[in-house]
Amino acid sequence: MLHTNDPQVVHSPGDSNVLGLRCRECAREYPVAPVYTCEWCFGPLEVAYDYDVIKRAISREKVAAGPASLWRYSDLLPVTCNASVDLSGLTFDNYATLFDL
């Protein structure tokens, strides 16, 4: 059962690899929202993943064939990809140059 008092909570879509948030201390579950502590025990909230969806969506081969950037792991992230952002030129090699590291 998901607990929340916030009517503005954004629930994850049905095809997402994210089930919701789960307290590491008491295991209470919450919908996906910009919160990070449990309102019952003040424990940290962690992302609860649907590993069956992840298993169907990705493979070692798909990750290896992905771009030479962090976006090769996009199917594992608890975010949806914004297709209007073109990061195809960002690679591991030029990342440090981009941010003057």
What residues does each domain of the chain span? Answer: 1-57, 58-98
Would you say 21 and 35 are in contact if contact means Cβ atoms under 8 Å apart?
yes
Using DSSP's 3-state secondary structure scheme, residue 87 falls into coil
Say which amino acid occupies 61.
E
Query: Residue 75 gets which letter from DSSP?
Result: G
Low-confidence ranges of the chain (pLDDT < 70): 1-15, 78-101
Question: Tell me: the pLDDT tens digits for 13-28?
Answer: 445 788 999 999 999 9
Mean pLDDT across the chain: 76
What pTM, to 2 d.p., does this model score? 0.57
pLDDT tens by residue, 2-14 = 444 433 334 344 4
Closest among 48, 6, 1 to 23, alpha carbons compared: 48
